[in-house]
Structure 1
């Protein structure tokens, strides 16, 4: 139940005092009527009986009126209290509804803000993942290019070694040719030239055998 309002608190003791006074007056009137009747009956006097009857009737009606007034006032007070309580409940429910609406609006705004933040963070994470994938693919391409360049460098080095060997062989062969030409110039007859050719042929046949050994 809602707590009583400040203007109801001082009114209730006052109403209670009024009720107690009215009830006391009604009881006093009935007691007076009863006492008068009790006193008048033994006298057997018409005057006293008439006065007692009229006084008892008047006290009865007065007491009934007081009780009726008290009953009506009690109902009015109860209706007023119920109306005040209903108004207090309406005010309380209105305040609770307003607070609930404010709370719902605040929570909705917070949830919307959280959802936007989550969406932004998700897009940021996705973009970072895409950049990481692109960077990884670039690194892989660069690694493949580096491997290909290393292979080409190795092939070039091997070719350089082969060319160096060929150059050395050509230089050796050229030196041999120069030696042969120089030796030919020293021969004076055809017989000496033929003997020299036989010697060179024998030397050429002997070189492969030495290499195999």
Structure 2
């Protein structure tokens, strides 16, 4: 049996649930390689574990957005970086785009206050071009797209809300294409192709030229 801390247990449980969202506590423990009593000691029940997975997944998503540096360079290039960064969190994306998603708007509402406690030297959410202090107050993709329209890199006639939804759903489509094509095996080549197709679609649809 392995000895893992709470955060590591949550991260590994996320990977298990990304493969099987209905996995029981016993199945999750077996896949992780820990005793089921370990999970119950840390989380109490499956509902609590799922809530922790959802919060960590939402935080990963917000961290990826910040890492994409959405406030830097032309807006369209920033949107493409967002696509690339979100592709680095496949388990979180799976749990967001599932038929019965584990990571929901409520997960972001709970995780957002935690995101305010940034480590020294790390850009804050607000510095990255969006505000997470009030969930739902300002959509990060809408902020970047609006900036791209202002700098001329994104077509000005596109409704910002529609464009943000298009980018988000295109990221989801690209990710699910990779997941459905891998047949149980993670193929970096297929992942790269899925990202390339996603960025090409976003660029073609949003570009001002």
TM-score, normalised via structure 1 length: 0.18
Please state which structure has a larger fraction of its residues in helix. Answer: 1
Larger Rg computed on CA atoms: 1
TM-score, normalised via structure 2 length: 0.18
